Every structure is written in C-alpha cells, then in structure tokens.
Amino acid sequence: MLKEVPFVPLTWTDMLYLAPEFLLAAVFVLLILLDLLMPRRITRLTIGWLTLAGIAGSLLLVVLRMVDMNQGGVSGEAIQLLGNSYRVDDFGSLLKIMFLAGTALVTLLALGSVRDDEAITARAEYFYLLLPALIGAMMMASSGNLVTLYIGLELLSLTSYILVGLKRKSSLSAEAAFKYVVTGGISSAMLLFGMSYLYGITGTVDLGGIAEALPAALTDFKALAYVGFFFIIAGFGIKVAAAPFHAWAPDVYQGAPTPISTFLAVIAKGAAFAALFRIIYSTLLTLRDEHAIVADDIWLALLVLAAAAMLAGAMAALRQKNAKRLLALSGVVNTGYMLVPIGLSLSVVHSSNFSEFVYYFIAYLFMTIGAFAVVSAVSRASGNDELRSFAGMYYRAPWTAAAMVVFVLSLAGLPVTGGFFGKLFILLGAANAKAYWLVVIIVASSVISYYFYFGFVRQMFMRSGSDEERIRVPVETGIVIWVCAAATIALGLFPGPIMEWIDVVFSLQSDLMMLG
C-alpha cells in the first residue's frame, strides 16, 4: 500500500542548515553574471579565484556545522529536512569535507594549467561549472530518499558532461564527451529502473520507509527486489568505473582537460560511493531471519564487483603507455578496494566498514589528485600525456619527481604512506570477516600494480629524456602537488588517530539507520 507523503515546507532554520549548498549556488549565479558583464581578460582568472573562495567558504560552513553537532566528542543526532528527503549528519558531512577539499585542489590545479591550454576557449565556464557539479555531489551524500539522490546525481552528471567537452578545439575531448554522455545515460537509466522496482514493491522512495517495508515486500516480491538492487548496483558500477563497467574511463580521462579528469576520478566517484553506501546500509541492515539471504546475496554481488575491478583494472593497466589512461585504470583498481568495505556488511568481528572506506577515500583523494597534478605539469612541458614524457624527470624537476615517488608508493600501497595503511585496514577487515578469497585478490592485484606504477619511477630515474630542458611547474600546480604529498605522508604517519576520530564522529544508528 502506497504511503501518503506530506508536504514539508522549508523553514528559515532549515535554510541555515543548507547554507553550504546555498552559498555555492549563490556564488555560481554571481560568477555567471560577472562572466556576462565584465571584460573577458579580467574575468578569466578572477572567476577561478572567486570559485576557489566560494568553495573555501562552503567548506568552513560544513566544518562549523559538524563541530556544532559533535560538541563534547559525542556524535549528534541527524538533522532531517524536507520530510527526511535531505539529511545533515556526520556521514554526509565527512564526505562533503572531502568533496569540497578535493574540488578546491582541482580548482587550484585548473588555475595553474588554464593559461597554456589553447584548446579551452570557455575559460570562465571551466571554473564556475565545477560549483553545480559539487552541489550535486553534496546532495548525493546527504540524500534521504531516492528522488533527492537522483536529482543530485543528474546535477553532477549533466555538468560533468559539459566540463569533459570544454576543449572545443580537441577532437579527443569531443569524443570523450560523447562517450561520457552515452555511458552516463545508460547508468542513469539503470538506476531509475532499479529505483522504480524498489518503489513498486515498497510504496515509498524514502530510504527509511524502504527499510521498514522491505521485509514484508520480500515475502511476495523477492525476485523484483533482486532486480531493483542489482540494477542500482550496475548503475553505480558505471559511475564509479568498476569492471566490467569501466571501459569508458580511459577514453574519457584521456580526452578531458586534466583537472576535469581529476574531478571525475575523485569527486564524481566519491559521490557515487556515498550514495551507494547510504542506500545499501540504510535498507539492508534491518533484514533478518529468512530475508537475510537477500542482503547476503547483494553484499556478495558487491564483493564480486570489487574483485573484478581489482583484477581487470590491474591487468589492463599493464599495457598502458599513456599516463592519463594508466591513472584511469588505476582508478578502476582503487574502486575495487573501496567497494570491499561496503560489500563486507557488518558483523560482531567486523564493524569498522565506514572508517575503512573513509580513510582509504581520503588517501585516494590526495594521492590521485597529486599524481594528476604531476601529469599536468609534465604534459604542459612536453606537449603530450605519454609515459615517455617522464623520461629523465629526476634531472629536469627533482623535487617534483620526489613528490611523484610519494604518490606512486601510496598508490602501490607501500609503507609509510596513506595508501599503505588504507589497503592494510581494508585487507584486515576482509580477513576479520573471513573473506579469505578476497584477501588473496587484494594481495594479487597489489602485486600486479607494482609493475605499472613503477613505470613512472623507471622513466623518471632510469631513462634519459630527449629534451633536457627543466620542467617549469606553475605555482598553483606546485601548491597542489606539495599539499597532496604532505597529506599522503601524514596519513601514513598517523593512521591510528585518524581512524579513531572517524569512529568517534560517525554513528551507525543516527547517520544511516533511518527507521521511524
């Protein structure tokens, strides 16, 4: 029986809770007006810096709200807006902080590269279109029902399609945008199809309502529930570039401007993970007795997807000679790692799923943005994205080469970096959950990845470049590289306190369990 959903108006207090999103929207509108009214030569970089200022302001508001909700070191109750359609909780706030920080670094990277990229003609749009995409990612992290989630997803996706195709003078960029639109449309169709099935059998789009109605619905409509969840997993599988849904990623990352490739690899991927985590854990954790097998099957499907991503991404990367395509396939492998905590479910011996996921996502954010920043600097100097352009880099830019070694070590999962402890926590979690077959795959994919990650090291230290001219790194790009390198090392030096802080802040009961 369908539930009647009452209309809940937005109050002034609610608008204060939504201040981070509203600030980004206001800055977006302001920058459009500036772009229309002011001379082009003035607005190009001015808009970039104003975009960065807007993101910093929104980040400050999220942090202040999170501090206010966790006074005294105790996790606060979630704030429900618009009839629980939108939630302000620690789950969403932690991920929003990552999205905002990551987009700030991407914007700074774009400021360092846009001056020399003649293929980008719409340079103001290059910056301010990041804002609605970021709002969409934040909505996905805080959505309490399927409709709000889908609106956020489409806001992120539609803006990303435009950003990928901004290099109007590049045929690769046009091809990348076309492929991304097609695969993105297929992903959205799969998600809508799966969501419609969940709505059909439960009579509600609210995640808490689905959790309440699902046990009764499974009595008569178990097959339809499987269809709904599997289509949702497939739709998000495309968004996060998990094998076998990853074929679009190398082409799109290669054709898009490097900062936009970075945004897709980190922020868009993280938003899809946030939505998938919230849907799966909000609806399946309450299934008990004879219905528990449905939840077990869905979590097993996630683990199989994770294993496929780790192995397929690692094997495909072995043959890559293009740096951006290699990092795209590296993202496929890392997608597999981040799917593991989601697919392991909760048990008496393993309950740190969220902290494992967030820690690895933080490490992934910094090491991936840092690696793309180095690729941006090298391709700017050499005019191409091929691995051979890194040849002799130790002699041409020794400090930048040293930073790249840090990112490579972290991506490969070697001590003492954030990537090492991120993989270690996930591997130990799988071992505690007795998923030993998954432990073997994690280790195997990591060993395979050493070969293609150390391709960067071989080129930088063991090959002589044909062009011995020094690589000049723009100031903004250099800031991004060293912020990411410092964060990657810090995560490797202090993993314990960070994990403990995440565990203290996050509460499964108040953040993900939405039963009324």
467-482 pLDDT, tens digit each: 567 888 889 999 999 9
Asked whether the beta carbons of 251 and 176 are under 8 A apart, the reply is: yes
Rounded to an integer, the average pLDDT of 218-233 is 93
What does 394-432 look like in DSSP terms, one character per residue? HHH-HHHHHHHHHHHHHHHT-SSSHHHHHHHHHHHHHHH
The pLDDT of residue 225: 93
| pLDDT band for position 516 (cuts 50, 70, 90) | very low
Using CA atoms, how far residue 409 sits from 371, 419, 421, 488, in Å, is 11, 8, 12, 10
Percentage with pLDDT > 70 across the chain? 91
Lowest mean pLDDT among 43-47, 184-188, 317-321: 43-47
**Torsion sign, CA atoms 496, 281, 309, 249:** negative
Give the single-character DSSP code of 120: B
The mean predicted confidence, pLDDT, of the chain is: 88
Lowest mean pLDDT among 7-11, 64-68, 204-208, 244-248: 7-11
152-194 pLDDT, tens digit per residue, is 999 999 999 999 988 877 788 889 999 999 999 999 999 999 9
| Residues near 191 by beta carbon (within 8 Å), at least 6 away in sequence | 150, 153, 231, 232, 235, 236
Asked whether the beta carbons of 400 and 461 are under 8 A apart, the reply is: no
Is the pLDDT score of 390 beyond 50?
yes
The pLDDT of residue 69: 83
Separation CA 20–CA 11 (nearest Å): 16
| pLDDT band for position 11 (cuts 50, 70, 90) | confident
Give the residue with greater pLDDT, 510 vs 245: 245
Is the pLDDT score of 119 beyond 60?
no
| pLDDT band for position 122 (cuts 50, 70, 90) | low
| pLDDT band for position 382 (cuts 50, 70, 90) | confident
| Among candidate residues 375, 357, 346, 368, the one with its CA nearest the CA of residue 459 | 375
Rounded to an integer, the average pLDDT of 429-438 is 91
CA 11, chain centre distance (Å) = 31
75-105 pLDDT, tens digit per residue, is 667 788 888 889 888 899 999 999 999 999 9
| pTM of the model as a whole | 0.93
**Residue 200 identity (one-letter amino acid):** G
Is the pLDDT score of 1 beyond 50?
no
The pLDDT of residue 73: 59
Is the pLDDT score of 362 beyond 80?
yes
Rounded to an integer, the average pLDDT of 41-65 is 88
**Torsion sign, CA atoms 266, 272, 278, 283:** negative
**Residue 8 identity (one-letter amino acid):** V
Q: Is the preceding omega at residue 74 within 30 degrees of 0, hence cis?
A: no
Using CA atoms, how far residue 371 sits from 47, 172, 218, 375, 477, in Å, is 25, 21, 46, 6, 11
The torsion angles phi and psi of 322, rounded to 5 degrees, stand at -100, 130
Give the residue with greater pLDDT, 243 vs 9: 243
Separation CA 339–CA 341 (nearest Å): 6
In three-state secondary structure terms, 167 is: strand
Is the pLDDT score of 65 beyond 50?
yes
The pLDDT of residue 393: 87
